[in-house]
Every structure is written in structure tokens, then in C-alpha cells.
Amino acid sequence: MKVAVRYYSRGGNTEKIAKAIAGAVGVEAQTVAQPLEEDVDILFLGSAPYAFDVDDDVKKFIRGINVSVGKVVNFSTSAAVSSTRKYVEKLFAEKKIPVAKEEFSCRGAFMMLHKGKPDENDQKAAADFARRIVS
Ligand SMILES: Cc1cc2nc3c(=O)[nH]c(=O)nc-3n(C[C@H](O)[C@H](O)[C@H](O)COP(=O)(O)O)c2cc1C
């Protein structure tokens, strides 16, 4: 099974989760600046909300996908919203790429909120989640 991990992270929170997921499934975590270069069965895509949307670089990455993707598994860190799934799934719908109902999300530190998050427990939970998805 071919798996890829891409993420966008301004402050490093989502990057921590991306690395935990990538490590668990044995691939490298790469940013969305790196386009997919070959077909994949599963794309783990990580992002965070900034003012109720994902960064334009995430949208550009999705719109630029020109390989076959079996399904996308969303993961995100956020201060308040439950996840970024709703921000990316309409873009994937345009590409006719399914987004799995399973996703991973956890709190990410933001100003005075959620200090230390994501923490080691979150990273372990993300790794366990990723192993379940690919098993
Ligand atoms: C400019 C800015 C806007 C944000 N807007 C939201 C938001 O609308 N909803 C939310 O839940 N979190 C919001 N956050 C919190 C981030 O999504 C959260 O800290 C996340 O973990 C950041 O991930 P990163 O470190 O990978 O960039 C915002 C953070 C920043 C810096």
C-alpha cells in the first residue's frame, strides 16, 4: 500500500502530528510545498485553521493534485474548531477524491490556550490512529 503524508504548519503544532503519523506508517512527512509525484492509496493531509479556513497553500496543494489518490485522511490541530475537515472536503469533492470519515484532530497551542499541545499523548494517539488506518 502506497501512503503519503503532507502537512501545512505555521507554528509547528500540526508538524508534530504529521511527524508522528509519518513515523508510524514508515514514510517521510513533507509539507504541502512538495506535490504528490506518484499515485497513492492513502494521503494523510494535515492542516490547521487560521481565521476559520486553511491556508491558501493547502488549497493550492489540493487543486494541484494530478495523480490518483485512493482516499484522503484528514488530520489537524486547532484551538477551537473540531477539525479542518469541512474546509478541505469541498476542495476534494471538486477533484472527486474521497475523504475518509475517520480523521485525527487535537488541540494545538494558541496564545494563552492549550499550552504544550499537542503533547506526547497526542502524538502517540496520532501514531496509533495512523497504524489503524493502514492496517
Ligand atoms: C492567525 C491565527 C488564526 C487562528 N484561527 C483559528 C480558528 O479560526 N479556529 C481555531 O480553532 N483555531 C485557530 N487558530 C489556532 C490554530 O489553528 C492552532 O494554534 C493550530 O494548532 C496551529 O497549528 P500550527 O502550529 O501547525 O500552525 C488560529 C491561529 C492563528 C495563529
Encode pLDDT of 90-104 as tens digits. 999 999 999 999 999
| Inside any domain, residue 85 | yes
The model's confidence at residue 30, banded by pLDDT at 50, 70 and 90, is: very high
Structural domain count of the chain: 1
Q: What is the model's pTM?
A: 0.98
84: left (phi over 0), alpha (psi -120 to 50) or beta: alpha
Q: Domain containing 51 — which CATH number?
A: 3.40.50.360
Site to substitute for ligand 1 among 21, 52, 55, 78, most atoms within 8 A of C-beta:
78
Mean pLDDT score of the chain: 97
Range of the domain at 66: 3-130
Q: Is residue 135 part of a domain?
A: no
CA-proximal residue: ligand 1, atom 11 (nearest): 80
Tell me whether residue 94 is in a domain: yes
Q: Residue 117 — pLDDT band, cuts 50, 70, 90?
A: very high
* Helix or strand run (H / E) with residue 4: strand 3-7
pLDDT tens digits along 31-72: 999 999 999 999 999 999 999 999 999 999 999 999 999 999
- Best mutation site among 6, 53, 110, 117 for ligand 1 pocket (most ligand atoms within 8 Å of CB): 110
